[in-house]
């Protein structure tokens, strides 16, 4: 999909060619190459051409961020926050246009891309408010006439690598707390959704952010992401994406002594107990499994259902799933858009095949690509439900990241918990029950970073910590005040005003 910018421009109705943003200027990649960004609902529609950047572009962007850093670090946090407030206001003004562009490049339905943009707005307001707090502590000293306290300090230049499923929300989780804390950043968005981040970065430019504080470099993981991770000036790498890539980044970052925050896969369970409100559970399961076409790391990809209600639940779920309208996300009648690209299409169909052949699960609905009429030009898959899935089945263990969910029967609450916890991931979980004791028991014992009661596995809010345990993360949490722990370092200050040498721990 590579071609030169000039070739791209030769076409009569050529889509626009976009640029990188380095040191406050819009510049092409140094090699002049671009890649095409396609609409996954209709691949004949090219959204735009974006710089196919390499290590040289990363070098330039990191140098710009490093140059901007010393001055930005000394801008008082309430002033840094004012830029962030302004970014929030620009996103509110442009919400509709940004969201439409996002649906065009990413595929999810307009209602959801509006939600994605809203999440970035929420994050802007939340993080900006923190500019007047950023609390440290004061504490006692064991010595007389001495103060002891802690303050937050910036880390330096941060490398941010973001995925395509939340094209603006996830970049906002990283860029906003990073710059509030006094860092400068280079962001490399997923090659499938560079336009959303381009528009986000445009908002920083319009807000008057000093040049070099936020830099954007587009390109592929191997050619643009990798040199960002290993660049010696980068002090911190924050990545959201697959566990496979995340583990590789963690190794490289550890090798170079960099701080690293990872948010990776999920295999989230939604438990339905025999005392659940079944209507509610079915609604939650449909939204959790097929919202964003199942392409959320929080997707409800396992439905663990009590044997007493499984027949009824299954029947209701399949009925609701078959009624979902699949099609281009810009048509408000549609509820489920395409998957992101050809690779993802093949991957999901491959798992559907494994579910039937290797796992011997019962395919209850969906299970195929949709190609009627105009859908043939996009990556559409019928929402798929498997029944009678064994807890150890491949489709019940591996993250599919598509519109596929697996109903796993269970005998009782204890077994439900054991099945829910019996995977390598630990992002989100949910339980539908009317028994308050069971609900608390589940909240205590589900091995996940996020746990819902009588609500689906998706729908996290930005002012609360987001992240998971086991194969999902590496101990960090995005969102909430916990994000500050990623993007700042603690500095401990001692002030001795006794006028003489005092020695801690030493008594003479
Ligand atoms: C993701 O799936 O990568 O909680 C992020 C949610 C959204 C964020 C999901 N607010 O589902």
Catalytic residue among 112, 130, 191, 263: 263
Which bin fits 505, alpha (ψ -120 to 50), beta or left (φ > 0)? Answer: left
Tokens of 140: 């006692």
Sign of CA dihedral 65, 70, 72, 77: positive
Q: Are 434 and 280 in contact (CB under 8 A)?
A: no
Residue 14 reports pLDDT greater than 90: no
Tokens of 348: 């999901």
Residue 21 reports pLDDT greater than 50: yes
Which of 114, 119, 166 for mutating ligand 1's site (highest number of atoms within 8 Å of CB)?
Answer: 166
| Spatial distance between the Cα atoms of 229 and 23, rounded to a whole number of angstroms | 20
Which of 106, 115, 238, 297 for mutating ligand 1's site (highest number of atoms within 8 Å of CB)?
Answer: 297
| 119 counts as catalytic | no
The DSSP-derived string for 95-109 is HHHHHHHHHHHH---
Q: How many CB atoms lie within 10 A of CB 455?
A: 16
| Spatial distance between the Cα atoms of 469 and 193, rounded to a whole number of angstroms | 27
pLDDT of 13? 73
**Per-residue pLDDT averaged across 313-331, rounded?**
98
Residue 2 reports pLDDT greater than 70: no
Question: What's the half-sphere exposure (Cβ side, CA atoms, 13 Å) at 78?
Answer: 3
> Which atom number of ligand 1 is nearest to the Cα of residue 240?
3
The CA-to-CA distance between both ends of the chain, in Å, stands at 75
- Could you tell me which residues come within 8 angstroms of residue 416 by beta carbon, excluding any fewer than 6 positions away? 271, 273, 304, 306, 410, 431
| Spatial distance between the Cα atoms of 315 and 169, rounded to a whole number of angstroms | 35
Tokens of 472: 């999902």
Q: Are 382 and 326 in contact (CB under 8 A)?
A: yes
Q: Is beta strand 300-306 parallel, antiparallel or unpaired with respect to 404-410?
A: parallel
SS3 184: strand
pLDDT of 1? 45
Determine if ligand 1 sits within 6 Å of the CB of residue 165: yes
> Which atom number of ligand 1 is nearest to the Cα of residue 165?
3
Determine if ligand 1 sits within 6 Å of the CB of residue 301: no
Tokens of 452: 């819902």
Helix (H) or strand (E) run with residue 253 in it: helix 243-255
DSSP 31: T
Mean per-residue pLDDT over the chain, rounded:
96
Q: Are 297 and 472 in contact (CB under 8 A)?
A: yes
| Spatial distance between the Cα atoms of 76 and 256, rounded to a whole number of angstroms | 30
Tokens of 470: 């086991």
Question: What's the half-sphere exposure (Cβ side, CA atoms, 13 Å) at 105?
Answer: 29
Helix (H) or strand (E) run with residue 188 in it: strand 184-189
- Would you mind telling me the total number of residues written for the chain in this entry? 508
Distance of CA 248 to the CA centre of its chain: 18
Q: What is the pLDDT of residues 460-482, one digit of tens each?
A: 999 999 999 999 999 999 999 99
Residue 7 — pLDDT band, cuts 50, 70, 90?
Answer: low
pLDDT of 494? 98
Determine if ligand 1 sits within 6 Å of the CB of residue 103: no
Residue closest via CA to ligand 1's atom 11 equals 458
Q: What is the pLDDT of residues 367-426, one digit of tens each?
A: 999 999 999 999 999 999 999 999 999 999 999 999 999 999 999 999 999 999 999 999
The DSSP-derived string for 430-442 is EEE-S-HHHHHHH
Q: What is the pLDDT of residues 259-283, one digit of tens each?
A: 999 999 999 999 999 999 999 999 9
Helix axis angle for 310-322 and 278-290, nearest 10°, is: 50
**E strands of 307-449, at which residues?**
362-365, 384-387, 404-410, 425-426, 428-432
| Spatial distance between the Cα atoms of 403 and 237, rounded to a whole number of angstroms | 30
Q: What is the pLDDT of residues 219-256, one digit of tens each?
A: 999 999 999 999 999 999 999 999 999 999 999 999 99
Residue 144 — pLDDT band, cuts 50, 70, 90?
Answer: very high
Separation of CA 170 and ligand 1 centre (Å): 8
- Here the ipTM equals 0.95
């Amino acid at each position: 999909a590579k071609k030169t910018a000039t070739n791209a421009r030769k076409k009569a109705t050529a889509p626009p060619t976009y640029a990188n943003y380095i040191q406050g200027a819009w510049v092409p990649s140094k090699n002049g190459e671009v890649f095409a960004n396609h609409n996954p609902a209709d691949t004949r529609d090219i959204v735009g051409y974006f710089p196919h950047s390499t290590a040289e572009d990363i070098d330039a962007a990191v140098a710009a961020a490093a140059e901007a850093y010393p001055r930005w670090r000394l801008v008082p946090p309430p002033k840094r926050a004012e830029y962030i407030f302004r970014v929030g206001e620009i996103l509110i003004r442009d919400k509709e246009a940004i969201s439409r562009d996002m649906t065009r490049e990413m595929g999810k339905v307009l209602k959801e891309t509006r939600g994605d943009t809203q999440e970035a707005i929420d994050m802007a307001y939340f993080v900006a408010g923190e500019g007047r707090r950023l609390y440290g502590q004061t504490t006692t000293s064991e010595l007389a006439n001495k103060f002891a306290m802690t303050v937050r300090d910036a880390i330096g230049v941060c490398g941010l690598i973001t995925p395509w499923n939340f094209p603006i929300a996830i970049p906002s989780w990283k860029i906003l707390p990073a710059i509030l804390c006094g860092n400068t950043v280079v962001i490399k968005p997923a090659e499938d959704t560079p336009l959303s981040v381009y528009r986000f970065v445009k908002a920083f430019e319009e807000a008057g952010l000093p040049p070099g504080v936020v830099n954007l470099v587009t390109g592929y993981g191997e050619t643009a992401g990798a040199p960002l991770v290993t660049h010696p000036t980068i002090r911190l790498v924050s990545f959201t994406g697959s566990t496979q890539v995340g583990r590789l980044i963690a190794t490289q970052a550890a090798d170079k002594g960099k701080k690293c925050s990872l948010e990776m896969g999920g295999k989230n369970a939604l438990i339905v107990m025999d005392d659940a409100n079944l209507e509610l559970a079915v609604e939650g399961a449909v939204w959790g499994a097929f919202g964003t076409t199942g392409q959320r790391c929080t997707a409800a990809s396992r439905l663990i259902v009590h044997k007493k209600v499984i027949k009824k639940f299954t029947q209701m779920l399949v009925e609701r799933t078959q009624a979902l309208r699949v099609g281009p996300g810009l048509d408000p009648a549609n509820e489920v858009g395409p998957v992101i690209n050809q690779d993802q299409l093949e991957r999901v169909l491959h798992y559907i095949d494994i579910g039937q052949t290797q796992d011997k699960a019962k395919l209850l609905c969906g299970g195929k690509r949709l190609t009627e009429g105009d859908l043939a030009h996009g990556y559409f898959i019928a929402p798929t439900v498997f029944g009678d899935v064994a807890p150890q089945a491949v489709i019940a263990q591996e993250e599919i990241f598509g519109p596929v969910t697996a109903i796993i029967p269970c005998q009782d609450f204890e077994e439900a918990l054991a099945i829910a916890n019996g995977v390598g991931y630990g992002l989100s979980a949910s339980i539908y029950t009317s028994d308050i004791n069971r609900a608390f028991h589940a909240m205590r014992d589900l091995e996940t970073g996020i746990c819902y009661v009588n609500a689906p596995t998706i729908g996290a809010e930005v002012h609360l910590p987001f992240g998971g345990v086991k194969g999902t993360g590496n101990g960090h949490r995005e969102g909430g005040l916990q994000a500050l722990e990623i993007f700042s370092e603690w500095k401990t200050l001692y002030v001795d005003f006794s006028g003489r040498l005092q020695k801690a721990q030493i008594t003479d």
